[in-house]
Structure 1
């Protein structure tokens, strides 16, 4: 992935509505969801949803297909994995990464 592609993807996700749309599509899996279902689940007007879907499509994060009279949107998992790979490439400079932080134990009062 090129820097410009990563910037476009991250920029597209840097909006509360687009991030919510994208997370719903990731949860839906490869089958995706119709635009109407997305609008209902997120309580977004159709015109606003169309704007956000177009932005995510231009960034290469989602795909659109037509099934009969419905437009079905799905996450592009190859693009998602590419972005995560780009962000974590050369993690920790090749050294073993530090273990995940453990939750602090509460002291009894």
Structure 2
């Protein structure tokens, strides 16, 4: 697993700070390795294609997800390694001093 730098973590969190991008990310995490097509994401969120494309581009630029073409379908997948590194960053680097830190670390591993 890769370590994540403070500025990279901040960029990821900034992108996830938008409700639509957080919803996209959440859907992709729940979809697992198979990911979701752009059409399925649009149907689930009910937002215009152009708006969805903008949000996807932001998440891709932050390294939180990737896209691949499968014939006529654009498939989106969460970047599991970046996501795990982000979670570990928060638990190990940002949560020191929390009373429930041991429990958080157990949940994150």
Structure 2 length as normaliser, TM-score? 0.83
**Quick one: which of 96, 101, 104 aligns to 1:97?**
101
Bigger fraction of residues in helix: 2
- Give the 4+ runs in structure 1 shifted more than 2 A: 90-93, 95-100
Distance 1:50 1:99, change over 3 A: closer
What is the aligned-residue RMSD (CA, Å)? 2.0
Q: Kindly name which structure, 1 or 2, has the bigger radius of gyration based on alpha carbons.
A: 1
Question: Which whole-Å CA distance do the structure 1 matches of 2:72 and 2:96 have between them?
Answer: 49
Matched, 1:45 2:48: yes
For structure 1, list consecutive stretches of 5 or more residues without a partner in the other structure.
101-109
Match of 2:107 in 1: none
**Quick one: which of 27, 30, 48 aligns to 2:33?**
30
Question: Which whole-Å CA distance do the structure 2 matches of 1:48 and 1:96 have between them?
Answer: 39
For structure 2, list consecutive stretches of 5 or more residues without a partner in the other structure.
105-109
What number of residue pairs does the alignment pair up? 99
Structure 1 length as normaliser, TM-score? 0.83
